[in-house]
Amino acid sequence: MTMYESLLSLPYFQGMSKDDITAILDNVAFEFVKHNDGDCICHRGDSCTSFLVLIQGTLQSIAEAPDESYRVIEDITAPYAIEPYSMFGYNTNYKKEYIAKGCCTILAIEKKYLFSELIKHNIFTINFLNLISHKAEKQEEKLWKHTPGSIAGRIVKFISLRCEQQHGRKIISIKMERLASILCETRLNISKSLNEMQAADLLELHRKEIIIPSLKKLTDTITE
Residue 1 confidence (pLDDT): 62
Residue 145 confidence (pLDDT): 78
Per-position b or e across 144-153, b if 16+ CB within 10 A of its CB: eeeeeeebbb
Cα–Cα distances (Å) from 156 to 58, 67, 159, 164, 186, in that order, read 24, 21, 5, 14, 17
Measure the CA–CA gap between 113 and 87, rounded to whole angstroms: 12
- Give yes or no for a contact between 73 and 108, defined as CB atoms under 8 angstroms apart: no
N residues, the chain: 224
Q: How far is CA 222 from the centre of its chain?
A: 22
Task: Write the single-letter amino acid at 20.
Answer: D
Residue 26 confidence (pLDDT): 85
Residue 106 confidence (pLDDT): 93
Residue 31 confidence (pLDDT): 87
Instruction: Identify which of 6, 96, 11 has the alpha carbon closest to the alpha carbon of residue 48.
Output: 96
pLDDT (tens place) for every residue of the chain, 224 residues total: 667 777 788 888 888 888 888 888 888 888 889 999 999 999 999 999 999 999 899 999 999 999 999 999 999 988 888 998 898 888 999 999 999 999 999 999 998 888 888 888 899 899 989 988 888 888 888 778 777 889 999 999 999 999 988 888 999 999 999 999 999 999 999 999 999 999 999 999 999 999 999 999 999 998 87
